[in-house]
Structure 1
Amino acid sequence: MNIKALFGSAVVLAVVAYGATTSYLVHYDHETAPKLSSLSPTNNNPKAKAAFDTIAEARCDYCHTKDAKLPFYASLPVAKQLMQRDIKTRVPAFPDTTGFKCLGKRPKRVDEESLARMQFVVEHDMMPPKMYLTMALHAALGEKGKKAMLEWIKESRIKNYDAAGLVAPQFQSEPIQPIPAADFSDKEKIALGERLFFDKQLSGDGTLNCASCHGLNKGGVDNLVTSTGIKGQKGPINAPTVYNSVYNKLQFWDGRAKDLQEQAAGPVMNPLEMGSHDWAEVSKRVMAQPGYKEAFTKVYGGQANQERITNAIAVYEATLVTPDSRFDQYLKGHENAINEQEKRGYALFKDLGCASCHVGKAMGGQSFEVMGLEGDYFGKRVTQVMPIKAVSLKRIMPLICIVSMCQHYGILNDGTLFPRWQRKTLEDAVREMVRYQTQKGQIPEKDVQDIVAFLKTQTGSYRGHNLATITEEDAGILPSK
C-alpha cells in the first residue's frame, strides 16, 4: 500500500473516530442534562422554559454551577484544560449557577448584574468557548438559543426592575433603567433624618456631620482623594457618593454593611471619621438640643438611641436620588434627549462590557470586582503604601450615574490602594478602565470622547435642582408635598 493510500485511510479513520466520539458525547450530555421539575413554575412560562432548555442543551451547568459533577471527558487532555480555565474565569464571564437557580423548582429573581452579564455573553458569542464546541457541537446556542435567552432576560428585567413602568418599550432590553422619583411620604421621619444628617453633635468634638464627607452640592462626596476626619485626620479611603446609595446591593466599598441603616452607624464611631465613642453619649447630646425630644417622641414614641438615629438617617438617605437626567429621559422614550455622539458613547459603553458591571438604575453598586480583570493594573505600583495583599481586594462597583460631578476618578476609589494614581480627568479614567477591565485594551480617542459625552448625560436632579448647580441650601429644603 502506498503512502497516499495510507494517508487517506488514516484520514477516514480519524473522521470516523471524531464522528463517533462527538456523537457519543452528545448522547452522554443529553442523558445527563438537568431536568426541570414538574412542579416548577417555569413550565408555565414559555420564555423561561425556552431559556432553561437552551442552558440545559448547552450544558452550561458543567462550568457555571457550583460543585457540579463534571463529565468523564473533563479529565481528558485539551478538554480538561479548557473546562478548568472556564470554571476559573466563570464569575467574570457568566454568573455562577444563575440560570438554574432562577429557572429551577423554586425560581428566584435574577439580580441585575447577572442579567447584564448573561446578555453581554450571549450577544457577543462568548460562550461556550469555540474550542469546546469542536467536541460538543450541540452546545452552540445558535440564533434560536440566543433569542430565547435574550427574550427571557428582557422579560425578567420588565418584571423585576421596572415596576414603575418608566422604560419605553423600545428600551426594555437595556441593562440600565431610569432612576425613579423619591418617596417623600414619611415626611416627619425624613425631616428628622435630614436634621441628623447635618447635625455635628454626632461627631466626637462637634465639628463634623455626615455632609462633611458627603456634600450634597458636591455630588454626594467631598471631592478629596481621601476624606478628612476628626481633628484633621486623613482617612484611608475616598468617600463614596451618598446620592443613589439606596440602590447599592451592600454599603461601603467592601460591602461590610447590609443596608443604609447599618452603614450610618459606622462613621459616627470610627476614630478616624466622626470620632464618637459611645452611642449613649451621642444620644444624650442629640436629645439636649431643642426640638429633638418632640421629634423622636412623635416619630418613634420615645427618646433617641442608636437604632432610631441610624434608622432616621437611612430613611432620609433613601430620598437622596437623582432622577430626570437627560439619559433617563432618553430611556423613557424621548429620543432627542441625547445627541448622536452620546448615543454612540452608550453603544460603545455596552459593547465594551462596561454595562455588565455598571448596571441598573444607578449604573453600579451591584457587584464586587478586582482591578485588573484583563491586565496587571497594579504591577510596579505595589509599594509600602499599597501592600501586595490589597491587590486581590474586591470593591463594589462605583455608581457612575453622577460621575461627571466628581473631581477624582480613582478606579477603586480607595486611597489606601493608590493615593497617587487617581485619574485627573474622566477621559483618563475611561482609558484606564478600557485598558485593564476590558478585552479591547485600547480604543481610538474618538471613542473615548464619545463615552465621556455619554457619561455626562447622567447628571440628574435632586428635589428639582440640577446637580451641576445645586447648593446645600437647595438640597436641604424638604418638599412641601
Structure 2
Amino acid sequence: MLARFGWVTRSALATALLALGGCGGTGNEKEEVASAEPSTASPSSGALDAAVAKVSDKDSADKPAHLVTPDRAVDPKKLVDVVEQEVKGGENASPSPESILWLPSDQSKIKDEPLTVKVPKGLSPLILNVNVPAANPLTKGKFELGKQLYFDPRVSLDGTISCATCHNPEKGWTDQLSVSVGIDGHTGGRSAPTVVNTAYGKTMFWDGRSPSLEGQAQGPIQNPIEMGKQSYEDIVLRLRAIPGYKDQFEKVFGTDVTLDGMAKAIATFERVAALSGNSKYDKYNSDGDLTALSESEKRGMVLFGLRLRGDDEFKTNVALKKAECTSCHTGSNFTNEQFHNIGVGWNAEKNDFADYGRFVISPIGSKNNSELGAFKTPTVREIEKSGPYMHDGSLKTLEEVVEHYNKGGNPNPSLDKDIKKLNLTDSEKADVVAFMKALTGEQVKVELPTLPPGTDGKIPDPHAALTPPPVKAAANVFHPAVQR
C-alpha cells in the first residue's frame, strides 16, 4: 500500500519558499538564485525535494517514517521566485517605476460608458462585487481596448505572440496543444487552461496562484518562455509609443498606458467575451426541452451526478453519480474551483511527481501534503473543444479522461479521497462522454479587431499570431510554476 507523505526535507522547504502565493503569471527564469540547502536524507538533492514516507504493508502506522529524496533531473538554481519577479515588474535587477504600473486618473478625460452584458442561458449574471471587481466595472471602451490588447502581438518582445496564441477563441479559448508554445518556439511544462467562463473563477492558473483575471493578465506578458524576457516598463513604453493606445487609455482610464489599465482592459474582454452557455444541457435543464438531450446524453447526465427533470419520464436504468463527476464538477460552471490530486504526473518508479502543483504556491505555514500534485478543477463547459486534457496535456481524448477516472487515477501518497475505481461499463463510459459533449454551448462570437498602427504606420495582423510558432526547444528543466 502506498504511504502518505511524512515530512518535507529542508531542501523542499527552501525551494517551496520561492513561491509564497500572490497574483499574476510566472516570473522570469533567472540564471542565479539562492540554492536550497542540501537534504540530509541524500547526498544528491533535487529541486523541490520531498521526503516520502515509504511504509510497507507490514509496517505499523506509528513506525518512524523513512525519508527518501526522489531522484530528479532538476537544477535548483534554475528555480525562481515567481511572485517576487511579478511584484518587481518582471525585471531581474530593479522594479519598474510606479508611473509604469499605475497613474492617478484624470476623470475629466474619460469618455466611456457602462457595458451591459446578457450572459448565455445557464450562467449567472455578471454583477459588480460578485463576479466583476468593484475596481474594474464593465465599460464599452474598456472591452474594446482589452480586445485589441488581447490580440496584439506587440505585447510580446518580438511581436509574434499574443494572448490569443495560447487562448484562441476558435479553439475553445486554448491552443489545443499538450503544452503551450511561446516566443522563439520555447515550451513550458503545462497546458494552456481555457479562458471559458473564467468570469466566475475564484482563482486563475492550474495552481490558482492568481486571485483574479486582472492578476492573471500580468504574468504571461513578462514570462521569458511565453512572451519574452521583458519588464513591464518595456511593454508599457512600447505601447505608449502607439498613438491609438495612448488615446484609448486616456478615454477609458484618464491616464497614459499603464500596467494597471492593461490588466483591467484584458480582464474585461475575457470576462465578457469568453462566456459559454445555452448548451443542449441548458436547453433541457432551463428551457424544459426534454428532446434537447439524447438518451445516451441523459444516461451520461445521471452517471455524471445530475438528476433528470421531474417531468422527464425517461428511464435511464443507470446508477446516479456512478461516475462521481459531481464530486468536483459542480454548479452552473461545473467546477468547485478547488484543487485535487488525481494522479496525473505521478511517477511510481521515482516515487515522485513531475509537477508539485498547488503545494508549491501555498504559503509556508499553510502547506498541506494533500496539495502535492493537486491542480484546479477545470470547467466541463466547452470541454469538447479544449483538449488535450489535464495540466500537462497528457490525456488526448475525453475517452482517455473517463478511463483515467474509471481505473481510479494513478495511486500515489496524496491521491484525493474521492478518486477510486468506478467500474463503469464501456457503454456507460460512452454515455458520460456524450453528456460532456452536450455541454458545448453557444459562445460569444469574437471578431478579430483592427489594431492601431505603430509609429511606422504599419498595422499588425492579429490573425498571424493565432498560429503558435514551431517548437524550438522544450523546457527540459521542471519549473515549479512554469506558465499557466
Q: TM-score, normalised by structure 2?
A: 0.54
> Can you give the 5+ residue segments of structure 1 that lack an aligned partner in the other structure?
1-80, 82-163, 168-176, 416-421, 477-481
User: Which has more helix, going by share of residues?
Assistant: 1
Q: CA deviation at 1:394?
A: 1.3
CA distance, structure 1, for counterparts of residue 423 and residue 166 of structure 2: 34
Would the alpha carbon gap of residues 377 and 443 (structure 1) be closer, same or farther in structure 2, given more than 3 Å must change?
A: farther
Aligned to 2:339: 368
CA distance, structure 1, for counterparts of residue 281 and residue 349 of structure 2: 36
Give SS of 1:343's match.
helix
Give SS of 1:291's match.
helix
Aligned partner (choices 219, 242, 245) of residue 198 of structure 2? 245
Deviates most, 360-369 or 186-195: 360-369
Aligned partner (choices 431, 434, 441) of residue 422 of structure 2? 441
**1:439 alignment partner AA:** K
**2:420 alignment partner AA:** Q
Question: Structure 2 matches for 1:41-52, cutoff 5 A?
Answer: none
Give SS of 1:336's match.
coil
Aligned partner (choices 400, 405, 414) of residue 392 of structure 2? 414
Would the alpha carbon gap of residues 316 and 382 (structure 1) be closer, same or farther in structure 2, given more than 3 Å must change?
A: farther
Conservation of the 8 A alpha-carbon contact between 2:345 and 2:373: no
Question: Structure 2 matches for 1:72-151, cutoff 5 A?
Answer: none
Aligned to 1:178: 122
The answer to whether residue 262 in structure 2 is matched with residue 309 in structure 1 is: yes
CA distance, structure 2, for counterparts of residue 377 and residue 288 of structure 1: 44
Aligned to 1:193: 146
CA distance, structure 1, for counterparts of residue 261 and residue 447 of structure 2: 28
Q: CA deviation at 1:254?
A: 0.5
Q: CA deviation at 1:471?
A: 7.8
Aligned partner (choices 425, 429, 440) of residue 459 of structure 1? 440
Question: Structure 2 matches for 1:30-429, cutoff 5 A?
Answer: 178-180=122-124, 186-319=139-272, 320-332=274-286, 333-350=288-305, 351=321, 352-364=323-335, 366-372=337-343, 378=346, 380=348, 382=350, 386=354, 392-410=372-390, 413-414=391-392, 422-429=394-401
Q: CA deviation at 1:457?
A: 0.5
CA distance, structure 2, for counterparts of residue 388 and residue 382 of structure 1: 14
**2:275 alignment partner AA:** V
Deviations 1:360-392 (A, max 9, x none): 2221251110114xxx98353648992789892
- Total equivalences in the alignment: 289
Conservation of the 8 A alpha-carbon contact between 1:321 and 1:462: yes
CA distance, structure 1, for counterparts of residue 205 and residue 152 of structure 2: 21
Would the alpha carbon gap of residues 290 and 387 (structure 1) be closer, same or farther in structure 2, given more than 3 Å must change?
A: closer
Would the alpha carbon gap of residues 442 and 331 (structure 1) be closer, same or farther in structure 2, given more than 3 Å must change?
A: same
CA distance, structure 2, for counterparts of residue 334 and residue 205 of structure 1: 51
CA distance, structure 2, for counterparts of residue 317 and residue 276 of structure 1: 24
CA RMSD of aligned residues (A): 3.3
Deviations 1:144-186 (A, max 9, x none): xxxxxxxxxxxxxxxxxxxx9x99xxxxxxxxx9224778962
Kindly indicate whether structure 1 or structure 2 has the higher relative contact order, using CA contacts under 8 Å at least 6 residues apart.
Answer: 2
**1:407 alignment partner AA:** G
Conservation of the 8 A alpha-carbon contact between 1:182 and 1:321: no
Would the alpha carbon gap of residues 388 and 260 (structure 1) be closer, same or farther in structure 2, given more than 3 Å must change?
A: closer
CA distance, structure 2, for counterparts of residue 292 and residue 236 of structure 1: 33
Conservation of the 8 A alpha-carbon contact between 2:182 and 2:225: yes
CA distance, structure 2, for counterparts of residue 446 and residue 254 of structure 1: 34
Would the alpha carbon gap of residues 365 and 308 (structure 1) be closer, same or farther in structure 2, given more than 3 Å must change?
A: farther
Conservation of the 8 A alpha-carbon contact between 1:240 and 1:252: yes
Aligned to 1:73: none
Give SS of 2:171's match.
coil
**1:337 alignment partner AA:** A
Aligned to 1:160: none
Would the alpha carbon gap of residues 289 and 471 (structure 1) be closer, same or farther in structure 2, given more than 3 Å must change?
A: closer
Q: TM-score, normalised by structure 1?
A: 0.55
CA distance, structure 2, for counterparts of residue 455 and residue 427 of structure 1: 11
Deviations 1:85-116 (A, max 9, x none): xxxxxxxxxxxxxxxxxxxxxxxxxxxxxxxx
Conservation of the 8 A alpha-carbon contact between 1:181 and 1:323: no
Conservation of the 8 A alpha-carbon contact between 2:408 and 2:421: no
